[in-house]
């Protein structure tokens, strides 16, 4: 798939006009959905309808218009929906920060290894397990012990509070 070369002028250095306007429209549609949230409710049925619309209109000439409404709606839905509880993850610990830290470098490593033609599905299939393993290792060996240290340090009286206590007596 070739990238479009005619993107218009530049809004800012490195931001082509077409891409900037397109991303701004996604933002504005999402903002509009949020402003009119009393009318457009966040619920699972509308989220499912949005996903179905993305599938049905994937090859339509006007798919961009469908994207402008469905993707912002899905982003708002996912942000506000009750999280799905996965019992296994409760036993592992909080791997969110490790996932955040590792995802981009792992994706870049996978692209560097397999080439830019890898595509999003293969990239996701390869990078996700590697990222999750690194995130678990980060939680077990770095984050959880660091949080334990923080708690022990906060339980100890600081040198300053001891000095203040002695001078007050």
Alpha-carbon distance of 83 to 151, in angstroms, equals 28
Is residue 117 pLDDT above 50, yes or no?
yes
User: How much is the pTM?
Assistant: 0.52
Q: What is the pLDDT of residue 112?
A: 96
Residues 39-66: tens digit of each pLDDT? 888 888 999 999 999 999 988 888 888 8
Residues 5-22: tens digit of each pLDDT? 666 677 667 777 777 788
Alpha-carbon distance of 73 to 169, in angstroms, equals 63
Residues 69-104: tens digit of each pLDDT? 899 999 989 888 877 777 776 678 889 899 999 999
Q: What is the pLDDT of residue 85?
A: 75
> What percent of the chain has a predicted confidence (pLDDT) above 70?
83
Residues 81-86: contacts with CB within 8 Å, 24+ apart? 81/42, 81/44, 81/47
Confidence of residue 158 (pLDDT cuts 50, 70, 90): low
Of 99, 132, 126, 129, give the one whose Cα is nearest residue 110.
Answer: 126
Helices (H), 36-119: 44-56, 63-80, 87-92, 96-114
In this structure, are residues 81 and 45 in contact, taking their beta carbons and an 8 Å threshold? no
């Amino acid at each position: 798939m070739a990238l479009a070369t005619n993107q218009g002028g530049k809004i800012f250095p490195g931001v082509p006009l077409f891409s900037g306007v397109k991303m701004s429209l996604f933002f504005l549609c999402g903002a509009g959905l949020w402003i009119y949230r009393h009318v457009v409710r966040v619920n699972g049925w509308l989220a499912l309808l949005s996903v179905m619309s993305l599938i049905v209109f994937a090859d339509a000439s006007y798919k961009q218009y469908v994207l402008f409404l469905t993707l912002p709606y899905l982003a708002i839905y996912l942000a506000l929906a009750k999280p799905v509880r996965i019992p296994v993850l409760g036993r592992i610990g909080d791997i969110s920060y490790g996932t955040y830290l590792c995802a981009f470098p792992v994706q870049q490593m996978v692209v560097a290894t397999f080439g830019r033609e890898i595509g999003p599905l293969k990239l996701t299939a390869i990078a996700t397990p590697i990222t999750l393993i690194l995130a678990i290792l980060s939680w077990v060996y770095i984050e959880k012990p660091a949080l334990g240290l923080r708690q022990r340090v906060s339980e100890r009286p600081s040198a300053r509070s001891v000095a203040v206590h002695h001078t007050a007596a």
